[in-house]
Amino acid sequence: MMYKSIFARSFSEHEQKKMGCGAFIGCLIIAFCICAFFSPSLAPLPTRELKFATGINLKMLRNTVEASKPQNLNVITMESQIICNFTEAASDFCEMHGDIRIHGNSSTIFVPGFNLEDTFTGQNSLGIKPYARKGDEGAMETVRSFTFSPEMPGCTSNHSVPGIVFSIGGYAENNFHGFTDVVIPLYLTSRKFKGQVKFLLADKNARWTTKFKIILEKLSNYKAIDIDKEEGVHCFPRIILGLEKHKELNIDPLKSPHYSMKNFREFLRSSYHLKREYAITLRHGEKKRPRLLIISRKRTRAFMNEQELVKMAQNLKFDVVLLEAHSNLTEFSEVVNSCDVMMGVHGAGLTNLVFLPNNAVFIQVVPLGRLEWLARTDFGDPSKNMNLRYLEYRIEQRESSLIQKYPPEDIVFKDPYLIQRRGWSDFRSVYLDNQNVKLDVRRFRATLVEALRMLSM
């Protein structure tokens, strides 16, 4: 991997080990609802950057600041600079200033004075993949890789605003990944330009751009460029390659650019014209009925007794909306925002919680398979930064459709970790792709009662 070799140039064995370990450990590849574990030792590595001016060999600098003294300044025409950040767990990104040119069709970015061999020894053919799930080979194999060159081909179009290059390949079509790998990172990376930025889309996918049209239009005042097809050379004063990402479905407000999920949710609410900022507060003696959205699933992890669940909730005086998540976000965000409680079995449809009003209750039903860590990383923990209340309902063996397939003493029930160790595809097949849920509505009722209690606080 590229960053490994870059680190090899200027960091100690110890740090390399930390990095290598962090990057390779535990990336469970999940086509569906994923989360990558990274070793906690990964976190605080010192700052690194690459800097150079024309005629100066590119140098890796440790702890930034001091540049090495230029050796031959006679050929400098215009100063250009490239700074790459390889320290983040989820994504690599580079920022280039000066006279920066890009040829989309060959995925090449031209930076004057760039000396590849001097920097990326033996890795010349490797480039940077601008998709925020860098340790996950399953995602990254479908992502276009960009390389750098010191050549300066003539410009076919000149742009006066910065360009951001990012990929919508990988798992971006999945709703969870669409948000966590692309939309939130794009917000983090581009919001500061207040629309004065152009998006250069790699691995363009028309379904994705249709689905997220409103987001793209709110973040950029310009039409996005399908960069893979561009035969001409586009010239920019600044290009950012790749997107910043903090955690799954989350923004760390302590990190630059100091946005928060609260800001992101306000951005969504204004972009989709969502009416409700807050969920209802139930007061004693009032007759308001809270709205409950049940995210229905048909293919896998379906509720087998939806109607029974609906009746029970209605008896608790909920107005119930039973719907399958779909990709018309204008329509679906409005439904979600109109509800006070949203519930569903762990899966990409739950990503719609980003549209819930503040103080709403989010209930995640966790199927069998020791999926608690996944449930918590993908949705449980993120929901806490969204000003939502979180409830988790772990089903029991008798509530799983797996009891129809396996004897009660089977390892499927006794030792899901053993199945996990056999590999992701086995694990996914058993617990995610072939499990449905028959809620014990009497047992589940207590969770809805708790949701009502939370709404009355």
Residues that bind ligand NAG (CB under 6 A): 47-49, 85, 87-88, 105, 155-158, 210, 229, 231, 235, 244, 255-256, 328, 330-331
| Rounded least distance, CB 157 to ligand NAG, Å | 6
Query: What are the backbone dihedrals phi and psi of residue 97, each rounded to the nearest 5 degrees, phi first?
Result: -120, 155
> Of 334 and 440, which has the nearer Cβ to ligand NAG?
334
Strand 198-202 relative to strand 225-226, pairing: parallel
Tell me the residue type at 163: G
| Rounded least distance, CB 140 to ligand NAG, Å | 19
Residue carrying the six token digits 């692309």: 182
| Rounded least distance, CB 281 to ligand NAG, Å | 29
146: DSSP letter: B
CA within 13 Å, CB half, 278: 6
| Rounded least distance, CB 189 to ligand NAG, Å | 9
| Rounded least distance, CB 363 to ligand NAG, Å | 26
- The alpha helices in 355-410, defined as continuous H runs, are 372-375, 381-384
> Of 23 and 302, which has the nearer Cβ to ligand NAG?
23
Provide the angle, in degrees to the nearest 10, between the axes of the packed helices 13-24 and 2-10.
170
Tell me how far apart the alpha carbons of residues 426 and 449 are, in angstroms, rounded to a whole number: 37
Beta-bridge partner residues of 226? 201
Contacting residues for 207 by C-beta, under 8 A, at least 6 apart: 173, 327
408 prior amide bond cis, ω within 30: no
> Of 87 and 271, which has the nearer Cβ to ligand NAG?
87
| Rounded least distance, CB 105 to ligand NAG, Å | 4
Tell me how far apart the alpha carbons of residues 309 and 307 are, in angstroms, rounded to a whole number: 5
> Of 200 and 432, which has the nearer Cβ to ligand NAG?
200
| Rounded least distance, CB 231 to ligand NAG, Å | 5
Output the furthest CA–CA distance in the chain (Å, rounded).
82
> Of 99 and 136, which has the nearer Cβ to ligand NAG?
99
> Of 256 and 404, which has the nearer Cβ to ligand NAG?
256
Tell me how far apart the alpha carbons of residues 82 and 96 are, in angstroms, rounded to a whole number: 4
Cα dihedral value 454, 451, 346, 176, nearest 10: -50
> Of 104 and 290, which has the nearer Cβ to ligand NAG?
104
Structure token digits, residue 335: 């439904």
Which of 148, 102, 103 has the alpha carbon at shortest distance from 125? Answer: 148
Tell me how far apart the alpha carbons of residues 329 and 211 are, in angstroms, rounded to a whole number: 7
| Rounded least distance, CB 446 to ligand NAG, Å | 36
| Rounded least distance, CB 430 to ligand NAG, Å | 36
> Of 269 and 428, which has the nearer Cβ to ligand NAG?
269
Structure token digits, residue 331: 């329509």
| Rounded least distance, CB 283 to ligand NAG, Å | 33
141: helix, strand or coil: coil
> Of 72 and 157, which has the nearer Cβ to ligand NAG?
157
The three-point CA angle 387-267-187 to 5° equals: 100
Inter-residue contact 431 to 371 (CB < 8 Å) = yes
> Of 103 and 346, which has the nearer Cβ to ligand NAG?
103
